[in-house]
A = this chain, B = another copy of it.
Amino acid sequence: MTVSTPKPSPTFKPLYKQVQELITERIIEGSWKPGEILPSEFQLADLLGVSQGTVRKALNALTEDNVLFRRQGVGTFVSEHTLQKMMFHFFHFKSDNGDTPELPYAQLLETQLITPDESLRAVFDLASDEKVIEIHRVRSINNSASIRELIYLPHRYFADLDKEEKLPHSLYHYYQQHFNITIHKATDRLKAVLADEQDQEVLNVAAGQPLLEVGRTARALDGRTVEYRISRANSQDLHYLVELN
């Protein structure tokens, strides 16, 4: 921490912001892992030489940001990408008749190592000789193939993931467990497109069928873009839900 009464300086940051960043760094570097409990507010305050109120403000901000979660009477924990939470936060496709909040099954079609084209290299800011992992899979909702996914991951961050025979349905939980990469923020771009030949085959739709295409760039806790994913959905009985607050 800085001195208790910081002088005005060009790089001034509020104490609680500094505490916030320090805790985030500790999580990024793996000192505190997903699911683990943090020291109590008073312990952290003593540790960092600030008041309990300042620690509280930092912890609350991180809780707001889904980095931590708190349980009264128990403690403060590092957030974990459980399936339910991911469904709520990063999976926005819903059945039109909301009656089936069913967990979508994902079938792996193919995994391969590819040489990225110019635009994909730019997304990840990769050097010219770096490889990218491509995962091709299809999600079924209500027992019908509904969403075709093409997922791109820089090989440097996910070494040897391309050699796995099976992958879990919740990739984000998998990234977190095996590569210490927590997907924190993402940007989705939606368009309407026509089904191409592969779509027709995989999703079992006719030519001329409109699909909802979602392009996602996902960023880790440290801000790096670590995943690019294209989802093409048969939106006959589905929609993509957005809540604006």
Contact = CB atoms under 8 A, between A and B. Distances in A.
Interface of A: 65-66, 89-90, 92, 185-194, 208, 210-213, 215, 233, 235, 238-245
Nearest to A193: B210
B188 A65 contact: no
A211 B191 CA distance: 8
Contact of A66 (B92, B187, B238, B245): B245
Given A242-B187, A245-B65, A192 B208 contact: no
Given A193-B210, A210-B194, A210-B210, A188 B89 contact: no
Given A189-B239, A189-B240, A192-B233, 18 more contacts: A185-B245, A186-B243, A187-B241, A187-B242, A187-B243, A187-B244, A188-B241, A188-B242, A188-B243, A189-B242, A190-B239, A190-B241, A191-B212, A191-B238, A192-B192, A192-B211, A193-B210, A212-B212
Copies per assembly = 2
Chain A interface secondary structure, helix, strand, loop or mixed? strand
A89 B245 CA distance: 8
B187 A239 contact: no
Nearest to A218: B244
Nearest to A238: B191
A82 to B, nearest CB: 17
A233 B212 CA distance: 12
A74 B224 CA distance: 37
A242 B239 CA distance: 14
